[in-house]
Each structure stands twice: as structure tokens, then as C-alpha cells.
Amino acid sequence: MLSLLDLRARIATGRLTPAGAVGLVREAIAAREPEVGALVCVDPAPHVAPDGPLAGIAVGVKDIIDTADLPTAMGSAIYAGWRPRADAPVVARLRRLGAVPLAKTTTTPFAFMDPTATRNPRNPGHTPGGSSAGSAAAVAAGMLPLALGTQTGGSVIRPAAFCGVVGVKPSFRLLPTVGVKCFSWALDTVGLFAAGVADAAHALALMTDRPGLDLPATDPGAPRIGIVTQDFCAAPAPEALAALARAAAAAERAGATLRDLALPAPFGEAFACHPTIQDFEAHHALAWEYAHHREALPPHLRAALERAQGIETPAYDAARRVAHHARRGLKDVFGESGVDVILTVSAPGPAPAGLASTGDSRFNRLWTLMGVPCVTLPVDVTAAGLPLGVQVIARFGDDGRALAAARLIERALA
């Protein structure tokens, strides 16, 4: 994989120019894209800034995020060839930092569940996940050092885990969602993919102008980790539990203290409310497409929007109250348990076979609903070469602690 920090170090020492770094990416795309199919389009003549903290870093942008220089088709024929007049703020920020938004990456249509044709670079017979399929696969294939995705259920953490890369879903609204096609305004979160935790932390620190998110060179101290398995939903596969145990053991070797942590009943109730909030808001966010292009919508999305017509406003309001209660309660869980971060599986197991499904988001939805930062990192691979990941979760706004704990585990595993 291409490391953002390695490319920047080579540029800083004069061993590589920003244009040369983009050239390396182009070579990698030419070599891997035909088999992976992670990209919608590539800018044939991008402007490469000569300086800036991310000069020379080519970025993949999920195709529901507006770009002025490239089409934004949202994975749908309805918007084929659509060219926004302006970049989304998150893309504009990357340009100001010197980065090159080089390619649009594939997304499931409108970032829902109908799969793309993108293949998992680790095993092409398996899904890369969704909805940020192209972003995860492009980084995993070594075609891009940084890519943007979005998460409404599990669309950053799960594909990152399936493809064996680092994925970060920051605290809700840490990265702006203006200029991103809305599916659920209470849940949609912009996230990113990178080769390693330090790469992702550096990018997020620059993108948010929060230097404290960048990982220190010195050991930040041993975290107190709570192990969670979500006993209110179906259990993960044995391989996923084994990866969780391996990550926990590595953290303990590195000095972390561990304890098992059971989530109180309100979190199971909140977990069950996620679909009501998501689908009710999607019904409104995609009202124009449903009214005017219903037959052009893919089957899973069309069926979901049809079901959502039956969600009454009182049910939606009740679900929001349950979620709010759980968010407030999560502060108490951290405080009363004495843990700094939570460690859990990133997905129920390895990437499922075939391209008909993007996988199950049941180990992501609650944390998206809570709005808290999540970082997934690869831990192991199955006999079939499929990655297995774990995710680190911290309090709302404590993104730096989640990144630091993930880096500690990553180093211990190495």
C-alpha cells in the first residue's frame, strides 16, 4: 500500500517531487484498476500544487461528494455526467492543503446497499463492502494513499475491515457533510481510508486544523480498554472473535489494561432504532429521486424507500429520543467503567463471498448513531487471505484518544 507519510517524507527530503508522487499513483492505477474496478473516473490533467502539507498526495473521493473538476454521479444513472459547480468543503480543504483530488471512487447507488462491481483486492471473489467500496479497495490495492468515504450505517469501518486498511469514522460533523449527497442528516458522517493509523491521523489533523489529532512520536501512555461484543445482536463469526482476542492480547502486551464491558439495555434499544431514523430521513432526502425516477432506483434502495413510506413521524421522533438517551448514557458508561476506549469487532466476519452483498453493518450502526469516533485497523487474515479487523471507539470528540489507542495496537501487532 502507498503510505501518505512515506510519500510526504520523500518529498520533504527532495527524493520525490509532488508531481512524481502523483505519477507513482498513476502507475499503480494503471496496474491494478483493471482487476479491482475501484474508480469511476480519473482526472487526466490535475493541478499539482508545488507545496503545502499534503502536496503530492493524490486523493480518491467517494462519488457522492461534490467535485468541481470531476463528475459526481452518486453511483446512479440518474446523475450520469452531473458536474457540480463547486467542490464540497471537505474537498476544497484538501486542495488548500496541496492535495490532489485525482479520482472519484465507486459507491453503491446513493450510498445504500445495492452493490457496486468493485472487487476486493485481497480476494476478487469477495465483496469489498459498501457503500464506500471504491475508496477502501483503492487504498488496499495500493492505488491511492488517501481516500474519502461516508458512513451512515457501517460504510467506512466495514469496507476498511473487509479490504484490510485503516478506516476512520470521526466524531459526528468533525468533517463537514455540506456538498455530500444526503441519505440521513442525523447519521451521515465523512470518513477516510489510509494505509496506516499514523497516515490517517496526520490527514485528519490537517483536514480539521486540529494538530492535536496527529499522533505524537512518544508513547501517549497505556489506555484502559473495555472489550464489547454487543450481546443484543447476533454474535460475530469465530474468526472475528479470534481477531478481537488477538488485538486485545497485543494491547495488553503494550501495557493497556483490559476489562470486559457489557452495554446496558438502552443501547440495545438504540441499536434497534437506527433503521427507523435512517430510513425515515432517506425517504425525505431522496424524495425527488423517488417521485421522478423510481424505476431507475436499484432494487434494495427502491424497496427500502417504499417501506419507509409507512414510518410515521411519531415513530421517528420516539426513535430520536431513544438515541438521545443512549448518547447521554454513553458518557456514563465511559465514566463509571473507567475505560478510555472500547474495543470491538469491525464486522461480523471476513468479507462474504460474491459481489451480491456488501456485508452486514450490525457492529457499526450503534456507534454511527452515537456519533462517536471509530478507528478500524487490520489484525489478521483468514486462510483465504481475507482480512479481519477490530475497531477502537472513544467518547464523542475524543478522536485523538481513539487514534492513539489504535496506533498502540497496530504497533503491538507489528
Supply the residues annotated as catalytic: 62, 131, 155
CA distance linking residue 214 with residue 205, whole number of Å: 5
**Rg of the chain in Å (alpha carbons):** 20
CA distance 245 to 7: 33
58-62 and 224-227 strand pairing = unpaired
Rounded to 10 degrees, the C-alpha dihedral 407/411/412/414 comes to 140
Q: How far apart are CA 103 and CA 309, in angstroms?
A: 36
Contacts of 409 (CB under 8 A, 6+ apart): 247, 250, 251, 254, 343, 377, 379, 390, 392
Q: What does DSSP say about strands 257-260 and 224-227: parallel, antiparallel, or unpaired?
A: parallel
Direct distance between the N- and C-terminal alpha carbons of the chain, in angstroms, rounded to an integer: 16
Nearest residue to 8 via CA among 97, 105, 140: 97
The maximal CA–CA distance of the chain, rounded, in angstroms, is: 61
Give the sign of the dihedral formed by CA 357, CA 358, CA 363, CA 366: negative
SS3 353: strand
